[in-house]
Structure 1
Amino acid sequence: MNTTLVISLLLGAAAFIVVNVMFNIRFFGGSARFILDIADTLAEHLGRYNTKRYVDRIKRERIVIQKENIYAKYNRLVEGLILDFNMPFTLESFTSLLCILFAVITLIIVVLLKSVSLSVVITISIFVFMLTFFVMQSRSIKAEKLESIMDAEDIICPLAREGVLVAIKKVMESDEYISPNIRPYFQQFIDNCESNGYSFKQAIMLLNRQLGPKFDNFAKKAIVFEYNERKGMADIFLDIVDENAVLRELNNKKDRIFRKMNRDFLLKTAIILLFFLYALTVEDFRAFMLHTNAGKVINTSLISIICLSFARTQVLQGNLGTGGASK
């Protein structure tokens, strides 16, 4: 494209903009409105479709026992992420969003690489990396919640000899003892016992469901203590404090190991990327890696290996897990 043509195009664009502004002409207004209307209609149809799928899934899960397969694992993973991050999505709407993002990112990479197969491979690797990153953050949220539950148990258990409800009410009098992220659940427990007509067993079981498996042991002992209280029985709660101390020590060791694994992975990845960027300063290497099919295959392989290695590292950490499962 020569200089004369570029200048002509720029002058024509400038004149077009000036005319539109001077005479208040909205040349693209109708087109933009038409495109927005189409997008709004598509979103509305997609929303109705996802709602129908959601209702059908809930009905099916109440009737049919779901088999353990890749779809069940995906559903459990996504529902866990939605819950942990408080996202305003259902499983179906989240999946639709992922599909749309997958298509958009694939198209962008196709334009850059001029290869559909390589673009799909890179997009899959990127999505595996993204999902793994969110799972890693979700695990951090769970670990923080677990720590908050143990802190609450450590304070409530020594006071339980006066009654579990009385102990929780005393602890709730101060904002310092129970973490804000689980405090509403304990307040709801008190309200259920005193104002909402729940029996103690119903209220503590609801609290157990809200707090998760880590609270199972406390809930079981609280029910036994509430309905079968005998002299000296309150000491059964002190075992929970001892278990929490052991669990904290175990989780701290795991945390140090995981931090070292992540740090080593990031360091190795950074070295590889820096070496690659430095090598791109060599003209022949840059031309080979960026403009030949063999170079594009190598780039795709590098990206895939890095993303999948990160996912593998996090899977290993997930298998070791964080303490606090049901006993």
Structure 2
Amino acid sequence: MFEIIFKLSISCIVITIFGLCVMYNKKLINLLEKSKIATNKKFQEKFGKKLRQLSRDTERKATINKNTLNYKLYIYFKDIIENLDMEKDNVTPSGLVIFIASLSFVFSTIFSVLVNSVNLTLPMFCAFFYLILVVFKFMSLTRYEKKEAQIMDMTDLLVSDIRGGVFNAIRRYRNSFHPNLRVYVNEFLDDIDNKSYSFEKAIKKLNDKLGHNFTEFCIIAISYESKADEHSESEFSIVMETNAEIRNTREENNKIFNERKIQIIASMLLIGAYCVFSIYEDRFMMNFFLNNTFGKLSLVADVGLVAWSLAYLTSVKSQSL
């Protein structure tokens, strides 16, 4: 028994590490390129270029036709990567899919061993894949909402003291912005101060970093810096009005979301606690869940139900974004 557990643990660790290496393959290849170890360089020369070419080909094929399912899936995973700020580590949609598949295979294998049923590996793999994907999506939406709030706080602060110019306002309040945004703002100032960027070029680069939540302010800022008239200044009020509307919508939808979250989590905890208690205290229930085919299938259904519940919460959360 100990030998089986040991081999299973090693296999799960190896598969998980494989998934991580594939997800962060671009970062890993860059490290191998800089390595002075001969074997690392050989690996990079033999496989590094092929992995890069495979990533480029996958991305190109997925984005050729915007009406295909491949493109929709590509955008779905791309949004998760952007919201979780995984782009800085060069994570690609295909890499994320392989990592989720690796985790799903590990969990489904452990489950199959526990219930002694190889036939359930595939349905459990699908259930765990869906569950892990929903968790990633939920985390990305939560992260997106926080980043959006940080950007709105930043633009509101700038608009409140815009008369001296957008660039001067950004320089004046740069230490008041959220730490997550400060690094991009300092880069913006450095582009103008030390790299001779024009204001328009620098703030467009900043907009690329912050995303579409900053776009409206960016467009008005470029117009204001070039004209600096009262009409351009009054346009900044649109930004504050938009931010106020978004905050009101968030507040209303978050109330609904929190109510649903408490209900669903409480229900899952009660059902889970009852199942665990029944398995350990009732021999019939233990035999039903661990040895009976219908009992094993009900465990698969339970994982699917948890995934569906989280997906429902995710859909409620996404309505406010």
Normalised by the size of structure 1, how large is the TM-score?
0.75
Greater helix percent: which structure? 2
- Partner of 1:52 in structure 2? 53
How far residue 189 of structure 1 moved from its aligned partner, in angstroms, is 1.9
Structure 2 distance, partners of 1:84, 1:305, is: 26
- Partner of 1:315 in structure 2? 315
- Cα 1:69–1:268 shift into 2, 3 Å: farther
- Partner of 1:27 in structure 2? none
Q: Which secondary structure state, in structure 1, belongs to the residue aligned with residue 313 of structure 2? A: helix
Per-residue CA deviations over 1:67-106 (Å, capped at 9, x if unaligned) read 3443323322333333343443333433333343343333
- Partner of 1:221 in structure 2? 220
Asked whether 1:285 is paired with 2:282, we answer no
How far residue 53 of structure 1 moved from its aligned partner, in angstroms, is 0.8
- Partner of 1:237 in structure 2? 236
How far residue 182 of structure 1 moved from its aligned partner, in angstroms, is 0.8
How far residue 150 of structure 1 moved from its aligned partner, in angstroms, is 0.9
How far residue 148 of structure 1 moved from its aligned partner, in angstroms, is 1.0
- Are the equivalent residues in 1 in contact too, given 2:101–2:129 (CA < 8 A)? no
Q: Which secondary structure state, in structure 2, belongs to the residue aligned with residue 162 of structure 1? A: coil
- Equivalenced residue count is 278
- Partner of 1:93 in structure 2? 95
One-letter code aligned to 1:305? L
How far residue 277 of structure 1 moved from its aligned partner, in angstroms, is 2.4
What 5-or-longer segments of structure 1 have no aligned partner? Answer: 1-34, 323-327
- Partner of 1:137 in structure 2? 139
- Partner of 1:170 in structure 2? 172
Q: Which secondary structure state, in structure 1, belongs to the residue aligned with residue 150 of structure 2? A: helix
One-letter code aligned to 1:155? L
% same residue: 23
How far residue 289 of structure 1 moved from its aligned partner, in angstroms, is 2.3
Structure 1 distance, partners of 2:247, 2:123, is: 41
- Partner of 1:104 in structure 2? 106
What 5-or-longer segments of structure 2 have no aligned partner? Answer: 1-13, 19-38
Structure 2 distance, partners of 1:142, 1:193, is: 28
Q: Which secondary structure state, in structure 2, belongs to the residue aligned with residue 182 of structure 1? A: helix
- Are the equivalent residues in 1 in contact too, given 2:257–2:313 (CA < 8 A)? no
- Partner of 2:149 in structure 1? 147
Normalised by the size of structure 2, how large is the TM-score?
0.76
- Cα 1:69–1:113 shift into 2, 3 Å: farther
- Are the equivalent residues in 2 in contact too, given 1:54–1:91 (CA < 8 A)? no
How far residue 238 of structure 1 moved from its aligned partner, in angstroms, is 2.5
- Partner of 1:302 in structure 2? 302
- Partner of 1:325 in structure 2? none
Structure 1 distance, partners of 2:235, 2:272, is: 56
Determine which structure has more spread, i.e. the larger CA radius of gyration. Answer: 1
